[in-house]
Amino acid sequence: MMTINIELRHLRYFIAVAEELHFGRAAERLNISQPPLSQQIQSLETNIKARLLARNNRTVALTAAGHMFLKEAYQILSQVDAAATKAARMQQGELGEISIGFTSTTPFMHKVALSLRQFRESYPDVLVHMHQMNTKKQIAPLQTGRIDIGIMRNTLLPDNLEHRLLFRERFMLAVYDGHPLLEYTNQGITVEMLSDYPLVFFERDVGTALYDEIIALFASAGVSPMISQEAGEAMTILGLVAAGLGISIVTESFTPMKIDGVRYIPLANAPAYSEVWLVNHKNIQNSPAAERLITLLLSNNC
């Protein structure tokens, strides 16, 4: 198999001569002297074993092989320029891919939704892959690198994952319209007042961090929740509340889910809030695009 050693400068030299059809003008354009330019063109022709230019003392013209080679040379240099541009844009975080794990309520979190929209508007060429999974199910793919960033509730993390606080959101009591507890809407309600009311709650085997947080909230108030219904999805829980099958404790990000017949009351217990974390692997370097998104998420104050 023939080995051909062509450098990009050879292509640029040839293009200059082919466009000028004059070695003197081409040399001036390239800011080199004419003899080295002639030598480089001869070396190129020898290397590829084809005569590209027909020249004499007065004229320079492209051969048939030269016309074909000129077209290919343009394409090669264009591809090189495009590759260099893409590499630079990727280094600047303007190109690439990001995989994000998110909980079912993440799209309703104003700060997260706003940051994602701003990121998409600023960096439309970055592909963002969203993977819905609850907090605990995000841990394994974060460890293996299948997802780059996790947006989750506070939970126990393995040593190779790190978290940063995105924000805290209040716990709210969801009740059906007309519920007697609505009289406490303005001043808020305490967990201690809920001991006699049936609760619609998350299924334990769903593995959500909210389950643990809310159980801990009841425990700190010395209350054993009276769980009457369980469901795995937030919308199902709110639907059961609307049907009058019980009340539920949810976070503030649930409240934009406008379900007919559901009203919300703030909890007055302190601290009655849930933390939302941004989680990534300690030892896997984030891509420049992921770093841009992380910076945006952490800096947006809303």
Predicted local confidence at residue 3, as pLDDT? 61
Predicted local confidence at residue 302, as pLDDT? 59
C-beta separation of 164 from 176 below 8 A = no
Predicted local confidence at residue 193, as pLDDT? 92
Predicted local confidence at residue 129, as pLDDT? 96
Predicted local confidence at residue 119, as pLDDT? 95
pLDDT(8) > 60: yes
pLDDT(247) > 90: yes
| Least-confidence region, from 14-18, 100-104, 135-139, 297-301 | 297-301
All structural domains of the chain: 8-92 (1.10.10.10), 96-165+276-299 (3.40.190.10), 167-275 (3.40.190.10)
Q: Say how far apart CA 199 and CA 182 lie, in whole Å.
A: 16
Average pLDDT score over residue span 100-129? 92
Q: How confident is the model at residue 2 (pLDDT cuts 50, 70, 90)?
A: low
What value does the mean pLDDT of the chain take? Answer: 90
pLDDT(1) > 60: no
Residue-wise pLDDT tens digits, 60-88: 999 999 999 999 999 999 999 999 999 99
Q: How confident is the model at residue 202 (pLDDT cuts 50, 70, 90)?
A: confident
List beta partners, residue 54.
61
Average pLDDT score over residue span 209-236? 87
Select the more confidently predicted residue: 259 or 39: 39
Residue-wise pLDDT tens digits, 272-291: 888 999 999 999 999 999 99
List beta partners, residue 170.
273
Share of the chain above pLDDT 90, in %: 68
Predicted local confidence at residue 231, as pLDDT? 86
| Least-confidence region, from 161-165, 251-255, 294-298 | 251-255
Select the more confidently predicted residue: 1 or 120: 120
pLDDT(270) > 80: no
